[in-house]
Structures are given as C-alpha cells and as structure tokens.
Amino acid sequence: MNTAQILTIKGKALALNLDENVYGTLAEIGAGQEVAANFFRAGGASGTIAKTMSAYDMNFSDAIYGETERYVCEDKLLKMLDKEYNLLSQRLQHRAKKTKFFAYANTIETINYKKSNIGHGWIGLRFQLHPNSAPNDCILHVVLKDNDTLWQQEVLGNIGVNLIYGCHNYAHDPEQLIQSLTDNFSRDRVEIDMLRLEGPDFHHVDNRVISLKLVKSGLTQAAMFDQNGNVLQPSEALYKKNIVVLRGRFRPVTHVNVDMMISGVKQFSKDEGVERKNISILAELTLNDLKDDKEGIDEIDFLDRVDLLCSLGQTVLISNYQEHYKLASYLAQFTRKRKIAIILGVNNLKQIFNEDYYTNLNGGILESFGRLFGNNVKLLVYPSLDKNGEDILTCANFEPAEHLHHLYQHLRVNCFIDNIAAAKKENLHIISDNVLTMIKDQQDGWEAYLPSKVASLIKTNCMFGFCETPLEKE
C-alpha cells in the first residue's frame, strides 16, 4: 500500500460520514466511546451514525446484551453485535433497499491505575457490502501495548475507524484490510493476535491464511487455530492449561512426528500436578520453517501441512519465535504457573546448547536458560540415530561442550531435560526430507512411513508435488 495515499483517521471518518449508503450503530463498553468520538469530530456524523451506546455498568450491560461468564470476552462481543444489528435492521427497514447497514462493537479492558493488568479486548464489525444482503463479520482481539490509559483509548479509536473504513473499502483484498488496521499509528502500540472474516462475501477466505498473514506482517508473534480450521484466541484457549508443544516442519507428518507427540504427552502426564484432561497439545510451525529460500512462504504448502496436522486432530500454532526461550515466555503468560513441555529431537538439543545462538543476550546462554526454564518448562527429548544410522542418540548420552557439562548435568538431575523413554525406536530411520523426495519423485513405498490418513490426503489433494508428471525413466 502506498503510504502517501493513506487517509488520516479524520479523513476516513469524514469519508464514511459523507457516504449516504453506509449507516450503522456504535456500541463501546469498557474504554469510553473513542470510535464514536472520531466520527463526531470529523463532522457530518448524522450521515453515518444511527446510535451510539456505552453500557459501562456491568449490570446494565448484562440487562441489555445478556449475561456472560466474563465481561471482556468474545461471547459478550457477539451478543452486542447480535443485539445492535438486529435492532438496526428492524427499525430502519425503510432504508434497507439503499443502505449498507453495520454494527460496530467493542468490549475492552484498558490498563488500570496501578498498571497491574494488560490492556486488551474484543472488537467486531457486522456489515453489509450490498443493500438487502446477508451481513458479514470481522472479529479481532487486540492487546494494547501503551502504558497509559489515554494512549490506549486513542489507539482503540483509531482501530475502530480503520476497521469500519477497511471493511467497506478493502473487502476485496483481505491482506490490505489487515494492513490498514494500524494506519496512522505505530504497530508497536498494539498486537492483533486473532482475526476472523466470515460471511457471504468472504466464503473464499481461509482464516488460517489470515492467521499466517498476521504473523508475517508483525501484527502478532503467534496465532492459533483448531483441527477444524477455526481461529483461536491464545489467551482464552490456553488459559490455566498445561501445555505440550511439538516444534517441527511437518513436511510431511511422519510416524516419527506422531510418536513424538503420543509418547511425549504420555510421559508429561505422569508429572506431578499434570492432569491429562487439562493439557493443551500444540503442533507448532515457525515462519522460518515455512520459508522457501527462493520464494518466501508458499501459502499452498503451508495449508497442505496444516491440513495434514488437522487430519490427525491437532491444534496448530504458527509463531515467529525461533528461539525456544521466546516461545516458552510467550506460552507462560497464559498458563498461570501451570507446566509446559517442549518436545524436541537430539539435534534441536544441540542447537539449544550452541552459544552462538545467544550473542544477542547480554547474559548469553545462562540468560536464555533462565528465561526458558524459569517459566516452569521442561524439555522432552526424542532419540535419533547417529549419522551412520547405527547408534541411538539420546539426552542420556548427549555431550555438550566441556565447559557446559556441569550445567547440563544440573538440568538433567533436576528433570528440566528428560528422555522420552517410550519412543518407538523402530521408526528412527524415517527422515522427513527423504520421504518428501520419495513423494516428489513418485517412488514406491513412501506411504509406509506416514499415517494412513496423511498418505491418503497427500494422494487425494496432490500435495508436495505428488500429482506432477514423474520423470521418465531411462
């Protein structure tokens, strides 16, 4: 997008006010009426606003919109959108043939006086792109980074105007819509960790790709969706959960990946204070593992890998956390001191003990380990074969650099690093890259290395070049 062509917040609000076909309601609770204020300040607000609403008191809010378990949650937002949009369409039927109705809502918690909380909230827009058509929804969750309430309110007012303007002007280009949400203010002031587009005008949009774009654009460092492709808000999905995360490329998902997850979760469940029913299991893809050296990130390849993981019932996390300690810090903010297990192979363990990875930290490897293991994290290490394919490498026979030997022993003795004892060693010869080559070349027998569901999907959906014409044999 050419930044020279970006309208100011006042310019966007005025453009909407002067559009005779756009008309709607603004309902804001928890942080004032900053979005409505922008429309009023721009002038001509009567051309756009049918009603503004601020049910600030919780009892009033519950009486108007219905009770919810929490005040700032997606359920409350959806009740607000339902109520306001239905009232609008019922009371203004005489305008339905020429008007594109919308209902904007937010429910926000800004930073408190003692600065002991994190400002965050839910924002949504229900809107028509054509008169008399079924409405669409754009739902997002934001984390506010400013350390002052007034600054947070200012950002909220800007996001609201950007959202309403973007949905009416950039609906044909969801990526441009996403980028426009932070027009006229620094992205460092906000994180958008979930965004969902749905409705008759967005049937072609895959919200998993939307999640990927949020991470790629730097609007968030991580995004989640479940096995059905539904985007999840991490702080709600992981709240007070014990977490097991398997990091990998999953290109494709092999028997080894599946056994890493099954045996890792089984072992983690034996830890004191860990209940199997309270474990969230994540398969994580990092942006670095999605990148192609020549073409960047291939969205089709990304969706292929996600489809394979989802076929096995996995919840998928996309992150921009290459270092393990950064991932651990991210997850720990949701668990409220519950436990986190990261499943990895011996080669990844070697990387963790490579001091070259920590030159950006003043405290080097000790600082990184403090951040990693200080978050109630343990590493579960899956064995692998050595380069010759003969000896089995485990964390029991792993040898770090000599000057790190005592540090490693301390972590082992205190169970910060543990072996996955029940690993299926008969599968250790399976290497994803080798299987991928077999698939691309359409060699016989690659199916034996993958779960049957995965092999079937690869064939049915022509993944990883399987359906391309094979090379002619001489």
Per-residue pLDDT of 371-400, as tens digits, reads 999 989 999 999 999 887 778 999 999 999
Q: Characterize the bridge pairing of strands 222-225 and 279-286.
A: unpaired
State how far the Cα of 394 lies from the Cα of 386, in Å rounded to an integer: 10
* Prediction pTM value: 0.90
317 and 334 Cβ atoms separated by less than 8 Å: no
Confidence check: pLDDT of 279 > 80: yes
Q: What is the pLDDT of residue 95?
A: 94
Confidence check: pLDDT of 58 > 50: yes
C-alpha 192: how far from chain center: 9
State how far the Cα of 160 lies from the Cα of 162, in Å rounded to an integer: 5
108 and 157 Cβ atoms separated by less than 8 Å: no
Q: What is the pLDDT of residue 469?
A: 52
The whole-number average pLDDT for the span 116-135 is 95
Query: Two tokens at 431?
Result: 């290497």
The whole-number average pLDDT for the span 155-168 is 97
10 and 42 Cβ atoms separated by less than 8 Å: yes
Q: What is the pLDDT of residue 293?
A: 62
Q: What is the pLDDT of residue 468?
A: 63
Q: What is the pLDDT of residue 294?
A: 64
State how far the Cα of 267 lies from the Cα of 382, in Å rounded to an integer: 11
State how far the Cα of 70 lies from the Cα of 338, in Å rounded to an integer: 21
The whole-number average pLDDT for the span 442-463 is 95
Q: Which residue has the tokens 């076909």?
A: 21
- Tell me the Cα Rg of the chain: 25
pLDDT tens, position by position, 229-246: 899 999 889 988 999 999
What structural domains does the chain harbor?
A: 3-205 (3.90.950.20), 236-427 (3.40.50)
Confidence check: pLDDT of 196 > 90: yes
